[in-house]
Amino acid sequence: MALPLYYYSVLSTRTKNLVTPSSRVLATALRFWSIANGLRAQDPAARLRGWNEAKPAMVAEAVAEREERKARTGRRRRLWMALVQALRPKKEPKRKKQNPYQTPAMLKKRWGVHRLPPGIAEVCPFSETGAGEDEASATRCLRAVLRGQNGEEISGQPRVSLVAAKKDWQRLRKLQEKAGDDAVRDAVASAEMQAMTDLMMNQLFFN
């Protein structure tokens, strides 16, 4: 990789050497040289005074040039990275593994649809409570599922029919819009115990 080339001028005097700011732009360096060279014919005091007056502007121009070069390099680097990203083969998103007990055929047999509508989830309520049911033969129900303001899922009470779960979702959604997430949680909590009791009684007497 070639090293960057900088240009500068040196004005030699009897007392000290006056060095212009360095620049990678030849035209800028030549202009600085012209300014310094124009001071040669002056007496030492006038030359130093002229140098002190001209130097700040030259330094400011050299600094601005470097900052512009840095910004230009940064823009090129960002454009290059964007191009690399655009040309790079995109990875296919990992497919979510399908629950072997929630295939379209099984859902059709249990609930009459091949796919549950948005806001409705199939659950095993007795497995959730630690009753130890095997998933293959577990009691399956449906719950309405809402999304809270903080992203948390709020699940309704377990239902044994899709119609009831959909009605729950509509009712809880209206309550959420009117009174907020806490009101939905309170409503679910008050109905959860009765719903679980009904399920257990149904298991005891009808299975």
The helix/strand/coil state of 154 is strand
Domain definitions of the chain by residue range = 10-87, 104-206
Distances (CA, A) of 108 to 3, 101, 138, 185, 202: 71, 12, 17, 30, 22
Which pTM does this prediction carry?
A: 0.47
Q: Which of the four pLDDT bands, split at 50, 70 and 90, describes residue 17?
A: confident
Between CA 87 and CA 93, with CA 92 as vertex, the angle to 5 degrees is 130
Q: What is the pLDDT of residues 123-181, one digit of tens each?
A: 887 765 544 556 666 778 888 999 888 888 888 888 888 999 999 999 999 999 999 88
Q: pLDDT for 18-36, tens place per residue?
A: 888 888 888 888 988 898 8
Q: Structure tokens of 190?
A: 């008050």
Q: Give the burial string for 63-90 (b: 16+ CB within 10 Å, else e).
A: eebeeeeeeeeeeeeeeeeeeeeeeeee
Place of tokens 């257990």: 200
What's the chain's average pLDDT?
82
Asked whether the predicted pLDDT for residue 16 surpasses 90, the reply is no
